[in-house]
Amino acid sequence: MNTNIKTLHTWKRIALIEEDVQLPDGNTITHTTISHPGAAVILPIDDNGNIITINQFRPSLKKWLLELPAGTLESDEEVDACAHRELEEETGYSAQTMISLGQVTPLAGFCDEIQHLFVAKDLTLTRRYDCDDDEVIEVVALSVEQLESKVINGEITDTKTIACLSKAKLCGYI
């Protein structure tokens, strides 16, 4: 099938595209998608069993979100390299052990982003790098119980954080 693809807007490594898509029932629709290169989400566990989180100001929401460190893949970057890079950039920790938990699709109705989930262990405090212009970040260590309590009471609403925490728990890492 000939696909008509039109880029409506680009920003950083993200694009808004419109294309003709043939559905399984044979009908063709014009669908608009946010094209995203993917991201890594990291659940860092320190030697005391605490989870290293970040409190990040999110300009889109105009408020602070408590979440796990995460970031968008650079061009041709492997997902585990992205996880290592983002962990150190956002928290100042490097991880000797990075365990893949698989992936999630957070916004499948209108975005092709795939988030790759990781548990980071054997952490070493190095240094935080300069954040992106739109990043204001505070590093916060929380016990698993504190983190779970914040999810339950609605203080943590970030879906990637909830998904990664849940997957790590279900897989027995915490």
Question: Tens digit of pLDDT per residue, the chain (174 long)?
Answer: 446 899 989 988 899 999 999 999 999 999 999 999 999 999 999 999 999 999 999 999 999 999 999 999 999 999 999 999 999 999 999 999 999 999 999 999 999 999 999 999 999 999 766 666 667 899 999 999 999 999 999 999 999 999 999 999 999 999
pLDDT of residue 129: 65
The answer to whether residues 31 and 21 touch, using CB atoms and an 8 Å cutoff, is: yes
Q: Which two tokens stand for residue 144?
A: 């698993």
Same domain? 72 vs 16:
no
Same domain? 47 vs 31:
no
The answer to whether residues 67 and 160 touch, using CB atoms and an 8 Å cutoff, is: yes
Same domain? 64 vs 141:
yes
* Distance between first and last Cα of the chain: 47
Same domain? 107 vs 26:
no
| Full residue range of the structural domain in which residue 84 is found | 39-170
Same domain? 59 vs 17:
no
The DSSP call for residue 105 is -
Same domain? 134 vs 68:
yes
Same domain? 71 vs 154:
yes
pLDDT of residue 136: 83
Same domain? 30 vs 45:
no
Same domain? 155 vs 83:
yes
B/e letters for 47-80, b = 16+ CB within 10 Å, e = fewer, are eeebbbbbebeeeeeeeebbbbbbbbbeeeeebe
Q: Which two tokens stand for residue 154?
A: 């609605």
| Neighbouring-strand partners of residue 94 | 124
Residue 72's H or E segment, with its range, is strand 70-72
Q: For residue 161, which phi and psi values (nearest 5 degrees)? A: -65, -45
Q: Count how many domains the chain has.
A: 2
CATH number of the domain within which 67 lies: 3.90.79.10
For the chain, give the number of residues: 174
Same domain? 57 vs 135:
yes
pTM of the model: 0.91
Q: Describe the crossing of helices 144-152 and 159-170 by its angle, rounded to 10 degrees.
A: 130
